[in-house]
């Protein structure tokens, strides 16, 4: 629906304020009917990479560099130490993730190479719970011939839960410079102070959402979707950026998944 409203010089100050508020309400209610905004200067360095990754995820396009993976792990893996313990989520994280069940528990998982003298190290430290993965510390040397981090993420979740039950992936304490720089620029372009305690949700089809997919962390999560389900099965619907209370200087990201 298209709404036409005219602000004229004859409007009083109060009338103008009321009309402006009405316009913002209409935009909010009809948001899905408006075309996406143009790529902003803040997101442009990452936008094209993100759009390409999004096309590979959502369409069966040729040339996708992330094939569906068959890599799996067990707790008795020959090549990796896989250690898990069961714990409860802390209260701050429960609140930030909007989890209402205080007994919500997770599996704390550490995956490391058995070859402790490797010159191309790789490790995966995170937590899994029904419908959720939390990435705490991930690293893979560029020289490594081990599976990619996206494949370790898939294998870690499958240690305890069926893959199709996954709803979101949370990256804890993001310090990857490329990703942080993108988010800083986006916040600035939106008039948002950085850091800020309020959660911000970016739709994946918007210029900002596509830019986030083009960052270092975004590419890991996009590659994860592709290696886990292949093309045209699942997609990232929203990307949420947030800080928490006294840890306001620590940036976290939540990638929400949905069926195609």
What's the full length of the chain, in residues?
260
> For 135-186, how does the pLDDT look when each residue is reduced to its tens digit (9 = 90+)?
999 999 999 999 999 999 999 999 999 999 999 999 999 999 999 999 999 9
- CA 19 → CA 14, 15, 23, 26, 90, distances in Å? 9, 6, 6, 11, 45
Residues 54 and 15 placed together within one structural domain of the fold: no
CA pseudo-torsion sign 176, 142, 121, 153: positive
Structure tokens at 170: 């949370």
Structure tokens at 45: 């360095």
Provide mean pLDDT across the span 116-130.
91
Q: Tally the C-alpha atoms within 13 A of residue 188's C-alpha that lie toward its C-beta.
A: 10
Residues 145 and 172 placed together within one structural domain of the fold: yes
Residues 62 and 15 placed together within one structural domain of the fold: no
142 Cβ neighbours under 8 A, 6+ residues apart: none
The C-alpha angle 63, 69, 71, rounded to 5 degrees, equals 150
Residues 88 and 183 placed together within one structural domain of the fold: yes
- CA 227 → CA 27, 67, 164, distances in Å? 37, 6, 13
Q: Which domain holds residue 23?
A: 1-34
Residues 200 and 253 placed together within one structural domain of the fold: yes
Residues 89 and 15 placed together within one structural domain of the fold: no
Residues 222 and 156 placed together within one structural domain of the fold: yes
Residues 244 and 255 placed together within one structural domain of the fold: yes
What pLDDT is stored for residue 213 in this prediction? 96
Residues 59 and 188 placed together within one structural domain of the fold: yes
Residues 122 and 92 placed together within one structural domain of the fold: yes
> For 178-220, how does the pLDDT look when each residue is reduced to its tens digit (9 = 90+)?
999 999 999 999 999 888 878 899 999 999 999 999 999 999 9
Residues 10 and 130 placed together within one structural domain of the fold: no
Name the more confident of 76 and 41.
76
Q: By the 8 A CB rule, do 209 and 203 touch?
A: yes
Residues 25 and 92 placed together within one structural domain of the fold: no
> For 99-109, how does the pLDDT look when each residue is reduced to its tens digit (9 = 90+)?
766 566 789 99
Scan for tokens 């569906």, then name that residue.
Answer: 68
Domains contained in the chain, number: 2
């Amino acid at each position: 629906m298209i709404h036409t409203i005219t602000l004229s010089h004859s409007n009083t100050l109060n009338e103008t304020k009321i009309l402006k508020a009405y316009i913002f309400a209409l935009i909010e209610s009809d948001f899905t009917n408006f075309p996406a905004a143009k790529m902003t200067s803040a997101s442009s360095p990452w936008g094209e990479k993100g759009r390409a990754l999004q096309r590979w995820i959502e369409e069966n396009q040729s040339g996708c560099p992330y094939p569906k993976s068959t890599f799996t792990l067990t707790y008795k893996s020959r090549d990796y130490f896989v250690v898990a313990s069961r714990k409860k989520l802390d209260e701050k994280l429960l609140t930030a993730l909007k989890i209402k069940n205080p007994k919500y528990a997770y599996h704390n998982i550490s995956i490391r190479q058995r070859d402790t003298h490797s010159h191309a190290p790789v490790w995966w430290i995170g937590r899994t719970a029904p419908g959720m993965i939390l990435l705490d510390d991930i690293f893979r040397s560029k020289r490594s011939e081990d599976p990619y981090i996206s494949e370790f993420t898939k294998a870690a979740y499958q240690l305890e839960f069926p893959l199709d039950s996954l709803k979101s992936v949370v990256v804890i304490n993001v310090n990857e410079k490329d990703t942080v720089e993108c988010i800083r620029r986006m916040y600035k372009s939106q008039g948002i102070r950085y850091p800020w305690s309020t959660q911000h949700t970016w739709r994946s089809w918007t210029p900002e959402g596509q830019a986030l997919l083009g960052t270092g962390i975004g590419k890991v999560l996009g590659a994860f979707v592709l290696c886990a389900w292949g093309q045209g099965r699942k997609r990232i619907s929203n990307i949420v950026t947030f800080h928490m209370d006294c840890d306001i200087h620590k940036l976290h990201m939540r990638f929400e998944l949905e069926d195609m």
